[in-house]
Amino acid sequence: MKIGEVDLGERPVLLAPMEDVTDASFRIICKECGADMVYTEFVSSDGLIRDAQKAIAKMKTSEDEAPIAIQIYGSDPDAMVQAARMADRADELAGGHGCDVIDINFGCPVSKIAGRGAGSGMMKDPDKMVRITEMIVKAVRKPVTVKTRLGWDESSKIIVPLAERLQDSGIQALTIHGRTRCQMYKGEADWTLIGEVKANPRMHIPIIGNGDIDSALKAKAAFDTYGVDGIMIGRASFGHPWIFTEVKHYLRTGEELPPLGVRERVTLAKRQMELSLELKGPRTGVYEMRRHLSCYFKGLKDFKDTRIRLVTETAPAEIFNLLDYIAERWGDESMPPQRGVYGI
């Protein structure tokens, strides 16, 4: 599968963009675990054009993450174009690698975004969605992709004809989350329309399916049943970045890996903690790791008090000591398959 000149190989598995989750340390860990491509947290177009440092900082990436997409969102066409141009030269503005792909967020269902007509709120105005996409494609050098949903609600699942229009606007891949905006993340994702888009003889760009892939078996079933070119894993990677290792191994061999042991999880958690401290400094690095650390050991027996200590400690050295204690105290414990560890 290729996005422009970015070659992701056969049956690639991608890390979805998630606000407050897919920061640089987590992206690098997921890449090391086998993710074929990663995405930044979504970047506000309004924030970028106001020169907001937080928005610009989200665009800082490294070679260790490549290939990587910067995802932008907004509702104002001119602001979106200007933001896309800034993402196109993120290496100059934010430093680091920059991006290989620019992705447009037409899928986020959160009220503070969709309610302002951005993200999946754009599903109410597909003409505007297509117009913004065309403008961005013409304005940048990097390949442009779109991530969206099936429609606004059950009565307006417009993705099949909309996919054709988005393709005709010049995008080079389309990711579809198998829910409507009104579903948020409730109920099961419906992949049937994703399959219809892929089976449409007019479609020639890669189609990436997203929604409820939380195991290697589900990943393979998505490829086999719906014929998608790639799959994207979002919430199931949270606290479980080794899901990419599990999926890639199963796709390659047909064999499931055993659940990752406690000591192996500690090693990964320490690696991510080190990256977070290196990239963000001690205060922010510790704070942003808390969400991840709280889920690394989900399902471990008699762990409640230790989890509380793990996510309230502020001194990096003490957190590393706690992780060493976890490896020593629970190192031989068997862990259940880590599925549905969403918490966001």
Distance CA 43, CA 87 (A): 9
Residue 108 bears catalytic tag = yes
User: 161: cis peptide before it, omega within 30°?
Assistant: no
CB distance 114 to 125 below 8 Å: no
Cα(163)–Cα(150) distance, rounded to whole angstroms? 10
CA distance 259 to 306: 21
Q: Per the residue annotation, which of 33, 99, 108, 295 is the catalytic one?
A: 108
Region of 40 (left: φ > 0; alpha: ψ -120 to 50; beta: rest) is: beta
Question: CB-based contacts of 274: which residues, under 8 Å, 6+ apart?
Answer: none
And the tokens for 38? Answer: 């990663």
Concatenating the DSSP letter of every residue in 281-314 gives HHHHHHHHHHHHHHHHTTT-TT-HHHHHHHHH--
Coil, helix or strand at residue 199: helix
**Which residues, in sequence order, are CB contacts of 280 under 8 Å at separation 6+?**
23, 25, 288
C-alpha distances (whole Å) from 131 to each of 24, 73, 100, 122, 138 are 31, 14, 23, 11, 11
Q: Which long-range contacts (CB under 8 A, 24 or more apart) does 186-189 make?
A: 188/212
Distances (CA, A) of 220 to 190, 213, 214, 258: 16, 9, 11, 17
Where in the sequence numbering do the catalytic residues fall? 108
